[in-house]
Structure 1
Amino acid sequence: MTAEDTRPVVTPPTPVEGGWRHRAASVVTRVPGGARVLGYLAIAGPGLIAANAGNDAAGIATYSSAGSQFIYRTLFFMVLVTVALVLVQEMSVRLGTFTGKGIAALIREQFSLRLTAVALVCILLANTGLVVSEFAGIGAAFELVGVSRYWVVPLAAVLIWGLVLFGSYRYAERIFLVLSLAFFAYPVAAILGHPDWKDVATNLVVPHFEMSSEFLLLGVALIGTTVSPYMQFYAAAGVVDRGVGPDNFRSARIDAVVGAVFACVISITIIIATGATIGGRGPLDSAQEAAEALRPVAGNGAVALFAVGLLGASALAGAVVPLSSSYAISEAVGVERSVSRRFTEAPLFLGLFTFQIVLGAAIALTPVNLISLLIGTQVLQGIITPVILVYILVLTNRRSVLGDAVNPPVFRVVATIAVVAVSAMSLLLLGWTVLGWFGVT
């Protein structure tokens, strides 16, 4: 060892009962910069994919409705939601990296059977509605350009199912993300829409809340679509499935944090673009209205551009959402789960994935108002999200689970505040809804 060797070496993690036992060594060495970059690129994905899947059909509809209904008044709220997503994504990836287990497996080990069942019911209930909305989004994308969803949705279901079971899911991810790049047009549209930037800046840093059922409903929907439980289950399971250990945590954390920030920046520009172009119109009634926000950048091609982005985003989430459910159930039961396994090797994991694809596509073919379905799904997500966040927070606070990688004191306080704030919004909506039944609101 030379005098210029300065970087600590971490001994490879030792697998223990399906997890990882991390032993730090005092030996130090220098790792070339190029090798570090390649190392980051090698594991980059689960955090970025999970966060970007949140900008799916339901997310686009919710963000567009926020701009259409309230112009820029939800922007400060989105800044808070962004902070919450960064914290939750980091905790989820940390759990998977340092334990070698998914969130559902950890819940099964650390909580009672009844509490485990509560978590699983929540994730299945939320994800079932989401799978339907993703296939509805695929159908709506093609209907925007004159192709019937009755032809497209079954074909899309078969393609997504086949890519995961018989093809390369990693390759499919790249295809879906390339299609989703069309939504980079939103930051451009936000600029070309000539918003009142002073008003935008003010709403980004100053709270502008409204005590109305419409604002509360949309606020909870924004939480649900940005901090969706399936994203956390997938992020943790993704790093486990790829064999990422504690020695790779730094790059896994970068992937999670950058992915979360990137996804939220796109979300905020969707709100700005729709606020500048169709703000004040009120709730959206169709995907065509949401596409109008892209007119400043795409002109008459706005609908086609929106359709391409909607297709890519919906297809990506159409694979990620059912996979997250399959990971959760298989982890809780303790059976084989991996996208690299054959059907005979992981029958429960791939069987659940297949069932959700079939169910989601079938329901998406029934007559349904896309915008109402998507926003309603996100409200359900927003109500269920606090339950899952509590589990994640408790797990990352337990030294028996993470050892020295447990939440540090300051992080624990900030994360607790974020979880409490999200829970308070959901409870406020629930209370407002119950009072409405009695004619009080």
Structure 2
Amino acid sequence: MKGLRAGLVTGAADDDPSGIATYSQVGAQFGFTLGWTMILTYPLMVTVQGLSAGIGAVTGRGVAENLRRHYPLWLARTAVSMLFAANFINIGANLAAMGAALYLLIDGPQVLYAALFAIICVCLEVFVPYRRYALFLKWLTLSLFAYVAVVLAVEVPWPEALRGIFLPQFSLDARHAMALLAILGTTISPYLFFWQAAQEIEELSRRQQSRLKAEPAAAAPELARIRLDTLVGMGFSNLVALFIILATAATLHQNGVTHIETSAEAAEALRPIAGEFAFVVFSAGIIGTGMLAVPVLAGSAAYAVAELFQWPQGLNKPLKRAKAFYGTIAAATLGSVAVFLAGLDPFLMLYWSAVINGMLAAPLIAAITMMAVNPRIMGKLTAPWWMAAGGGLTAIVMAASTIAMLAL
């Protein structure tokens, strides 16, 4: 894991409790038939995350700061506002899922558990030095192997599962369309663009290295490392998502359980079907992935807000030098506790988060692609044509998905 950094953590954070709920519902409702979507979304994720990481490493500035510098200010303000709103809702939903998962394991007050998880996440981000915190996040990605363990513990009809993965099956009806939209919105999430770009800048700062734009002749090894990191990180993300689909398809779907709204519901439904071990591992995985994803959600919002308002920023800075940045992390995390204290339906929260992310994704991906090929921004290190083409295709796919979401 030594050469894997921002890409691995970013990919793992994509499989948050909200994502687990989506993939569980897909597996429960459709069985193995939509496994191929993990292959479809992989190149799209790799392209967009690679462009975002490249922009951060080459320019030494994050996505929001580049938007502010090179595009109308209203565009940056709108993007950051929508990102913060979506992340705020998503953090609340994830904390609620973590509290519910711990309740399933040891009983007790779900709200208190969720609040404690929020406090722990804030304290880790604010008070743990960046080097240790980045290492903590990297090792926390191992929690995702819980879903590999679940698949190994249950009986999977592999011929049927492999057909679902490699032979696309799709019906032109509202159910399949909504499932595909949910998968696209879950896997290609705007907060990941901001986070990975910011983390590449943190790595440059930690190693006291100049932005790559200032040293184009020496940039090749670093860009190669970013490409490998992104390929592995997004591959890990989609592989785990596929295992969640396989686990729920082989257990819930095969036993007639076809409606799951939250990750905790998926875990609870597993107990009578797949046994205590699968239930415990699935539930523990929800908590582990939440501990990884909540800081990424809060951190990406804080980076974006700080870049927009030109505040001192960075997890490598002490609290006294970046008070507003860390204050935004605390506000996004602790404030979101009010979301589930208000008794809002977690499924409804995830829906609106997906809608906001869907509306933001297409124009943001288009802007990132244009930045990545602009010599005025990237100097001699503009993105290759195939990445630009991939970014454009992803923007089109996300725009079509958003229109379909709003139309259905």
Q: TM-score range by the shorter chain?
A: 0.7 to 0.9
| TM-score (structure 2 length as normaliser) | 0.88
* Residue 43 of structure 2 is aligned to residue 69 of structure 1: no
Per-residue CA deviation, residues 213-266 of structure 1 (Å, 9 max, x unaligned), is 333222222112211111110000011022164332221221122101111111
Match of 2:349 in 1: 373
Give the C-alpha shift of residue 422 in structure 1: 2.1
* Residue 58 of structure 2 is aligned to residue 92 of structure 1: no
d(CA) in 1 for partners of 2:186 and 2:40? 14
Matches within 5 A, 1:351-366: 351-366=327-342
Amino acid in the other structure paired with 2:104: L
Q: Answer with 90-99 or 240-249: which moved more.
A: 240-249
* Residue 52 of structure 2 is aligned to residue 129 of structure 1: no
Alignment RMSD: 2.5
Task: Assess if the C-alpha contact under 8 Å between 1:149 and 1:365 holds in 2.
Answer: no
Matches within 5 A, 1:24-423: 41=2, 44-145=4-105, 146-172=107-133, 174-175=135-136, 178=139, 181-243=142-204, 245-246=211-212, 247=219, 248-279=222-253, 280-291=256-267, 299-423=275-399
Which SS does the other structure have where 2:320 is aligned?
A: coil
Amino acid in the other structure paired with 1:397: V
List gaps (5 residues or longer) in structure 1: 1-39, 433-441
Per-residue CA deviation, residues 356-402 of structure 1 (Å, 9 max, x unaligned), is 12211222333244445335533442343223211211111212222
Amino acid in the other structure paired with 1:219: L
- Residue 75 to residue 379, structure 1, CA distance change in 2 (3 Å): farther
Task: Assess if the C-alpha contact under 8 Å between 2:154 and 2:274 holds in 1.
Answer: no
List gaps (5 residues or longer) in structure 2: 213-218
Which SS does the other structure have where 2:336 is aligned?
A: helix
Report 1 or 2 for greater relative contact order, CA contacts < 8 Å, sequence distance ≥ 6. Answer: 2
- Residue 383 to residue 191, structure 1, CA distance change in 2 (3 Å): farther
d(CA) in 1 for partners of 2:156 and 2:279? 21
Which is helix-richer, 1 or 2? Answer: 2
d(CA) in 1 for partners of 2:275 and 2:319? 47
d(CA) in 1 for partners of 2:355 and 2:266? 19
The higher radius of gyration belongs to 1
- Aligned residue pairs: how many? 392
| TM-score (structure 1 length as normaliser) | 0.82
d(CA) in 2 for partners of 1:125 and 1:242? 27
- Residue 367 to residue 311, structure 1, CA distance change in 2 (3 Å): same
Q: Answer with 242-251 or 306-315: which moved more.
A: 242-251
Task: Assess if the C-alpha contact under 8 Å between 2:11 and 2:234 holds in 1.
Answer: yes
- Residue 221 to residue 285, structure 1, CA distance change in 2 (3 Å): closer
